A = this chain, B = another copy of it.
Amino acid sequence: MTIQETAAMLQTMDRVLLLTHVRPDGDTIGSAAALCCALRDMGKAACLLPNEGTTETYLPYAEKYWAEEDFQPDYAVSVDIASLSLLPENAKKYADSIYLAIDHHPSNEGFAPHCCVLPEMAACGEIIYELVKLLTPVTPDIALPLYVAISTDTGCFVYSNTSAHTHRVAAELMDTGIAVAGVNKALFRTKSRTRLAMEAWMAEWAEYYDNDRVVIMQIPLSLRHDYRATEADIEELSSLAALVAGTDCGVTLRELEGGKVKISLRTGPRVNATEVCALLGGGGHAAAAGATVSGTLSEAKQAVLQAIDMVVGE
């Protein structure tokens, strides 16, 4: 469905429950909050299904829209959800009755009878912005969560998914007068002391292979325990390895409970990350992929080096 068709459909709907994905990020929360606010501005009843995985970072944008226990929706709408497997536990009961799916993931499984999926958009928030513009004035209360959605999914306009459209939407959101400086500071220019200490440890113990083009960083369980690290402290730690100048294959090995290791790869064009991770039973994109293997950190390191060698050597 096009933006216009989807906007026309939203116009006819009421009593809307908005669903966000597990381990919610800024895009799913910001997009859902903005759409919810817009629907309410249009005089409709709308809520977000409470998502218990929402971190402190995004809670302020979402919790004011959480549905009461007794909210009986006429329609369920999923926002930024690529697959039914990404529904949080309390959303699973709606799996068969999602009426409309709004998403930007190319891998969207088309699980709803009505789908507005636009993979050319860097963030689902860009789609929501275009929808809302056709429906109701874009107020600051709508613009701020949309800015959060768009800036987080683009790393604040730095990732390669950032398009001219992304910047144009950001400009129009800022035209509403929202203060984005505090958002940028909190989201992109703040690191916890634990996070800094863990990054320092990872950098100090980084290992280099294949003429220094492959860097391997590790997060042993003991490190997590020593620093009493929270999920937020660890989130996206695998992006550190991708920063190292001169390398084009950043590997992060994170030791999990139960004798497993989560492998994350961030790569340049020389190394296809999906192919490497496929050899290890995982998957992903060409430039970012992952896998979980059994064994020690040392065994995982040997396995991933071997897999890289096989893929690059082909």
Contacts and interface: CB of A to CB of B under 8 A. Distances in A.
A192 B181 CA distance: 28
Contact of A188 (B158, B164, B201, B246): B158
Interface string A157-197: 11110111111101110110000110011001111110111
Interface stretch (A63-71, A132-140, A237-245): A237-245
A172 B156 CA distance: 18
A27 interface: no
Interface string A199-234: 111011010000000000000000000000000000
A168 B242 CA distance: 29
A185 B266 CA distance: 13
A164 B158 contact: no
Interface in A242-259: 242-246
Interface residues of A, number: 41
Given A158-B184, A167-B174, A171-B168, A245 B191 contact: yes
Copy count, this protein chain = 2
B200 A184 contact: no
Contacts of A204: 197, 200
Contacts of A157: 156-158, 167, 170
A74 B213 CA distance: 50
Contacts of A165: 171
A285 to B, nearest CB: 14
Contacts of A164: 170-172, 174-175
Contacts of A189: 158, 242-243
Contacts of A192: 245-246
Nearest to A202: B200
Interface of A: 156-160, 162-168, 170-172, 174-175, 180-181, 184-185, 188-193, 195-197, 199-201, 203-204, 206, 242-246
12 contacts: A156-B156, A156-B157, A157-B157, A158-B188, A160-B181, A164-B170, A167-B171, A189-B243, A190-B243, A191-B245, A200-B200, A200-B204
| 8 A-B pairs with least C-beta separation | A200-B200, A160-B181, A167-B171, A164-B174, A157-B157, A164-B171, A168-B171, A196-B203
Given A158-B189, A196-B203, A200-B204, 18 more contacts: A157-B157, A158-B184, A164-B170, A164-B171, A164-B172, A164-B175, A165-B171, A167-B167, A167-B170, A167-B171, A168-B168, A190-B243, A190-B245, A191-B244, A191-B245, A192-B246, A193-B206, A195-B245
